A and B are shown apart, each in its own frame.
Chain A
C-alpha cells in the first residue's frame, strides 16, 4: 500500500464525438495509484468512469480525443504509438470488463483465449502458455482447469466466467488491473467471492487495481482510496475511511444514503433526486447543482475547484455543507 505511484493520471480530458457535436466526457481528472493499492473510482453511469478506464488503455471509440497525461511506470501511455501501446496492454496493464457474458469470445476455446496474449507478450510456446493458463485458473479457484481450457465460455456460469476473465487478465502478470464494474453483472454471493479474489491477488501478487463501480458498498470493503466522479470531474478524493466515513461532497453523501443497508446507521435509504446529466446537456457551473439540496446561487455559474481540505481529502464543492463544525 506504500511505495511509488505506479500510475499517475494528470488532468485527463476526453472529448467524444456525439451526434450533436464534440462533448467532454472526462474533464481534467487526476489520480494516482501506488504499487499494490486498490483505488476505487465511483460514480453513476455517465460520470465518465468507463471512459476514463478506456482512455488509459487507448481503447476509446473512433473519433475520441484525449489530452493530459497518463504516466505508467514513468511512461506517458497517451503519447505511445499503437505498437508500443499494444506491448503494455494485457502485459503491464490489463482490463476486466463489466459483463463476463459478453467479454469472453463465444466461439474460441478458453485455451486459445488464455494463451494467445501470453504467447504474444512473453514469447512463450503453446505448452508454456498452457502451463501458465492452468496455474492462473487454479489461482482464481476454477475447479478442473484442464477441463476448463478445453471448454467454451457458454459452458460456465457468470461468476465462473468472471473468474476466467480475471485469470486471463492476470496471465501475463501485469502490474495494474483495471476492473470496470467487475461485480455488477453478478449475484451478490458471487460478488463477494470476486471481491475476496481481487483482494487476495493484490496481497499475494502485489497487483495494483483500479476498481471502477457505482456501488460504494462494494468499495468500502476493498478500496484503499476512493475517487468519486460526477459529470466527468472529480468530486471527492481521499482514503476510503475518510471519504466514506465522513463524506463531504453532497454527491458522495447522496450515494451513501442511497445505499441499501446500514451504511449510514439509522438513516433510511433515499435515492438522489433527478438523474445524472447527459453529455449533451451538461449543466453550467457545478454539474451536480441541479440535484443538490445545498446548492446556492453561485453553484450554477462557478465550477468548483478541486481543493485540499486538510484531512487528506480533495473536495470540489464551494459550499462544503458537511464540513465538521469547529468546536
Chain B
C-alpha cells in the first residue's frame, strides 16, 4: 500500500487487497468443508436407495453368473463395508481421483471435463437471457406501474412462472424446429463439424478465441433454443423481483432528491434506482442459477445437449455411484462459487457492506 495514490480515496474504499484475501481464504475454507459434507450426504443417499449397481449395469446373462457379479462388485469396491468405501473414496478424491464410471468405463473426471463446460455454457447463456429480459422488463413494469404495460407484464410473468418447463421445452421444440425450422433440433454442433480446440470447453467461447467465426455461429445456433427455454424458467422470477425491488427504491427520499436535481428520468432510474435495486436481484439471480442447474436435466434431455444434467440423469438411473458423487461435487462447487460471486458483487454494489 506504500505506493497507493495520495488521494483520500484510500480510506473510502473498504475493500483492501489484504481484506479481500482474508475473505477469500475464509470462504474457500468453508467451501472445502461444504464439499466434503456434500460427498458424505451424496454417499449416504446413494446407499439408501434400494438397488443393486451390478443389476443396473450388467446384462441379464452376466447377472446370472455369481463370479461375474462378484468380479464387478470387487472391481468397483462394492464388496467392502460402506464406511470403508467412503474413506477409500475420500482418499482417492484427495488425489484428484474421482473413480471410474460404471457406464462409460472412463474416469469420472474425464467425463466431467467433457460435460461440465457444456452445461456451464448453456446455463450462462440462460442466466444472461433471463437477467437481461427479466431485469429489463421488470424495470419497465415498475416505471410504468399501474399502466397497461405493467399489467400485461405481470400476467405474462405469472404465466412464465407457472408454465411447466417440460411443456415449454416441447412446445418451443415443436414450433421452432419442427414447424418453422429456425433452429437445429439438438446437439452442440451440426453433424460432421468438429469442435474447436479445447480451451474452456464452451464451444462458442473457444470458437471465438480461435477466431473461427462460422463455427461460433454454428455453436450459437445450437445454444439459442435450449438456452432460451432454460432461461424462460427464471425470467418470470427475476422480473417480479426486479419490479418489486425497483418499486421499493423509486419512492425513496434520495430518488426524489435526484429528480429534484433536474436529472432526466432515465438517468434517475439508471444511476439512482438501479444500483440499490440490483442488490436483492443479485441474490435472486444467484438462487435462479441454482434452479437453472436443476432445469438442465430436463432441457438437456430434450435438446440432446451433452451436459452434466444429462450425465447426472443417466448416472442416477444406472446407480453409477462414482458418477453421481462426481456430479454432486461439481454442482456443490458451482453453488459455492456462485454464492461467493454474489457476495463479492454485493460489496461492489454497496460500499457499506464489509467483506468478512
Contacts and interface: CB of A to CB of B under 8 A. Distances in A.
| A, B: real partners | yes
B48 interface: no
A90 B262 contact: yes
Contacts of A61: 251
Given A97-B253, A146-B7, A150-B9, A89 B259 contact: yes
Contact of B254 (A102, A121, A146): A102
Interface stretch (B185-193, B206-214, B345-353): B345-353
B323 to A, nearest CB: 45
22 contacts: A59-B259, A62-B145, A88-B262, A90-B263, A94-B261, A97-B253, A97-B256, A97-B257, A102-B253, A103-B254, A103-B257, A104-B254, A105-B258, A106-B350, A107-B276, A116-B261, A147-B12, A150-B9, A152-B12, A154-B351, A155-B12, A168-B261
Nearest to A146: B8
B272 interface: yes
Contacts of B267: 116, 120
Chain A contact patch, size range: 35 or more
B261 A117 contact: yes
Nearest to B264: A86
Contacts of B251: 61
A59 B11 CA distance: 36
Contacts of A147: 8, 11-12
Nearest to A147: B8
A62 B261 contact: no
B260 interface: yes
Contacts of A104: 254, 257
B253 A116 contact: no
Contacts of B262: 86-91, 117, 120-121
B12 to A, nearest CB: 5
Interface residues of B, number: 30
B18 interface: no
Nearest to A57: B260
A8 interface: no
A151 to B, nearest CB: 5
B349 A107 contact: yes
A108 interface: yes
B260 A59 contact: yes
A132 interface: no
A144 interface: yes
A115 B271 CA distance: 13
Given A108-B272, A155-B12, 6 more contacts: A88-B262, A95-B257, A102-B254, A104-B257, A105-B272, A106-B352
A195 B252 CA distance: 26
A144 B8 CA distance: 9
B74 interface: no
Contacts of A97: 253, 256-257, 260
Contacts of B264: 83, 86, 120
Given A90-B263, A95-B260, A62 B146 contact: yes
Nearest to A106: B352
Interface in A106-128: 106-109, 112, 116-117, 120-121
A318 interface: no
